[in-house]
Amino acid sequence: MAEEPADGQWSSMRISNWEPPAAVSASGDNSRPAASVAHREIVFDADEFEQTAPGLRGEEWKCIPGLGHSGNAIAVFPTTVAPIPAGGAIAQAPQVAYAVDFERAGEFRLTVELLPTHALSGSQLRFAIALGDESPRPVVMDVNDGGPEWALGVLAGSRLVHAPLHVASPGRHVLHIFGVDAGVVIDRLRIDLQTSQI
């Protein structure tokens, strides 16, 4: 059987060649460090957070076991909660926090791996980030349903969105993610320690 029977139908929509995801061990061993550093990159599965805090309306980030490449994707529940309007009280949104150890100060790139979901309201998937005590900064991805980026994301089971991180000093910092839209499903987070290009 062909590795991808529908290849002829999808090829016109691709922006790059699709490759199947790497096989995941089925050994059942769930032990893993809170963060792994490889090739100058810090990698977190979405459920490897230090703490969570509910939003003003009681909504909160929850793990969805078995979902995503990590098997531990997170999303905001209930999914019926209204999105926070642009310029709204993002700081009152539900939060999930990750402790990150930086060996040096600098400008780095955060990549958030999302599952390819549809926006529950509008045409964008939105969340916000803050490092330490800085004000939350919106991160927005246009879904572009039916476009080549959407098609590639569905085939790969992942959509990538990037944001800059300014680290003022080496040591431990806390990365906060705020749930602005309930339709956002986070699979993994990666921090590139070699480049700040977005």
Give tens-digit pLDDT for 74-117: 999 999 999 988 777 888 999 999 999 999 999 999 999 999 99
**64 lies in a domain?**
yes
**27 lies in a domain?**
no
* The token pair that represents 116 in the structure block: 């390819």
- Provide the number of structural domains found in the chain: 1
Calculate the average pLDDT of the chain.
Answer: 84
- CATH code: domain of residue 117: 2.60.120.1620
**72 lies in a domain?**
yes
- Comparing CA positions, the residue from 22, 17, 5, 4 lying closest to residue 152 is 17
Residue 190: CA atoms inside 13 Å, Cβ hemisphere, count?
18
Q: pTM for the full model?
A: 0.78
- Comparing CA positions, the residue from 110, 105, 107 lying closest to residue 129 is 110
The residue with greater pLDDT, 181 or 33, is 181
**Amino acid letter for position 131:** L
- Report residue 80 CA to chain centroid gap: 20
Where residue 124 falls among pLDDT bands split at 50, 70, 90? very high
Contact 79, 167 (CB under 8 A): no
**24 lies in a domain?**
no
Residue 184 scores a pLDDT above 80: yes
**71 lies in a domain?**
yes
Q: Reply yes or no: is the peptide bond before residue 83 cis, omega within 30 of 0.
A: no
Share of the chain above pLDDT 90, in %: 66
* The pLDDT of residue 91: 87
The residue with greater pLDDT, 25 or 31, is 31
Where residue 65 falls among pLDDT bands split at 50, 70, 90? very high
* The token pair that represents 179 in the structure block: 């749930």
* The token pair that represents 30 in the structure block: 């769930």
Contact 24, 72 (CB under 8 A): no
Q: Which of 26-30, 132-136, 141-145, 155-159 has the lowest mean pLDDT?
A: 26-30
Domain of residue 171: give its range.
36-192
**170 lies in a domain?**
yes
**94 lies in a domain?**
yes
**46 lies in a domain?**
yes
